[in-house]
Structure 1
Amino acid sequence: MVTLAEVAQHAGVSASTVSYVLSGKRSISLGTRERVERSIQELGYHPNAGARALASSKSNILALMMPLRTDMYLPVMMEIAVAVATTAREHGYDVLLLTGEEGTAAVRRVTRSGLADAMILMDVELEDERLPLLRESDQPAVLIGLPAETAGLTCVDLDFAATGALCAEHLAGLGHRDIAVIGEAPAVYERHTGFAERTLDGLRGTSRELGLRMLHRPCEGGYQAVSATLARIFDERPGTTGFVVQNESAVEPLLGLLRQQGRAVPEDVSVVAVCPDQVALQSSVRLTSVAIPAQEMGRQAVERVIAKLDGQGKDEVVLLAPELVQRASSGPAPT
């Protein structure tokens, strides 16, 4: 492992000069700074995290709060987390991953202990109990998600309201008039999780505008749960010809059940999903879908929290525009 002394010898400066370059505590001439930075890069020097923190009063760590709940789709969350970690590393930061459902307790622990220089929060609810603590704290933070009230916060998210609207517009444009939404698990709506609630808002508003009749049924996912949900939908609305699925674990069971019932996709029933491209492309029928831009959400969150740490950030809401890609699962409504 390369030491600070070896960097100093390579750059032809004292060890204290290297330390000052790393900490920024003293003004160092541009030529000397560039020589030290070149030696650091060439030698592959990585300062010890503890020593670096003592020298600069910074940990160079970002805390990522990502509660791992059984009712959430883990691959998307992990894709966001990997993007956060990768982007953070590009800026010289490591990531402390907090996966428990501690809520306010975790926020207090991080902000009071100095464990991390900034926080990124996921699984954001409309009335998230963590937000008052963030607003009171001086520690920079960014949300991946959108609460009901965004004043004093920086948020990055897919525009889920526009996503719901796109799905309804697509089915309406194909002539469908009775549509059903197979949603996330009931607990997701009970928590008033932002992305699920906002997708519903977009679907409902656009359905009203376009004269669609819409049913929404939460679903645990898995074959038995989807079977019961599908039976209920056709019992209540036998003329349903369009489905919007916002539940990755319900996609394949739904397609299989429709086949068993003799309902061809898309000739008899159209299916549109809000899901990762991998799910849409690997399903038994290639799904018309709006993709979840997980990598971009993670990257943008880190860029904005780094800007805050550099004193250049501002409170803002960044909504990524959704894009619907039509594939084999959607077509004209049956006549």
Structure 2
Amino acid sequence: MERPLNRRTVLGLGVGAAAAAASGLIATPAQAEEAGADVTAAESAVAACDSIAWSYQRHSGRAGGKWNAHISTVSPDGTRHLAVSHGSDEVLQALSVNKVPVAVAVLDKVDRGLISLDQQVEVSAAIIIPDGDGMFRLDGAYPSMVTVGHALAALLTISDDTAVRLSGLVAPALEINEILVAKGFPNTQVEPVANPNRFYLGTSTPREMHDLFNALVAGELLSAGSTEYLLNLLRSPIAFTDGVRRNMSSDERARVATKAGWLNDERHEAGIMFDSAGAPVLTYSLFASGQGQPGNYGATHPAVEARARMGRDFFDGIVELPGVRAETFPIPEYEPSNGG
């Protein structure tokens, strides 16, 4: 597939002749300096958008099916540059990507002193989802007690389904939805059921999920401590690695906060990439369905493979771009242990 002229083909704004994209664009300040070009950080962020849009168009096209996406980069002064806006306002089932908004609602209550991370909740036999993802269903020792912090860690790293119900014990469905609406996300909602403490993970739009991640790193959703806590869970080595982070080193993965969701023929992922100082640089929200293989929840699913290729391209396109310097989140260190 040939490289499109520029990201306008993806944005649906018409086609213009973009020399940078057509010639294999200069995407980073270091490459620009080597080529003798005077390119500002903002111009580099815009150029990176062209590369990102090309990668999205190429790999989503190869995977087939339906894709909805919203992707942007940001300059050091906070100016945001749109790379892809493709069906980004369609309300869709968000699946486990909505575990991030659920965690935001729980941590909002922590910030207001209504609950605490060390508060204990009961893991009863009745609350276990027997065939779902995660570890609680494998425990086999109930009833037991865990902390809210433990439940959130399981929710956001290994995407434990029972942890959704544990979160509902401290943040009922209607309260979660009220919190999210108050924070500006009316389409990012869980689906209540008869039990007020249980819910299906519900809906969002690619744009709202993108904007939620941006509001998070901007400090608009949670306290500084809760924000860093949540991001460190999403950047941890045990967080999702089959998609955007698959073709990355451990150091590179630590610079990507991501959350995926999968059910039936839907495969979604959303998150943020950071520069080496921990400043946010790129935000992506990718919703895919209809690629076939509905029973394949592994790394070989066409949409998951496409996201892995996009992730490598996205990271390479922004690796030297400086992020918003007012917003930095130190990259978590990782040192394996052999016990002891």
TM-score, shorter chain, exceeding 0.5: no
| Alignment TM-score, normalising by the size of structure 2 | 0.23
Q: TM-score, normalised by structure 1?
A: 0.23
Q: Which has the higher helix share?
A: 1
Higher relative contact order (CA 8 A, sep 6+): 2
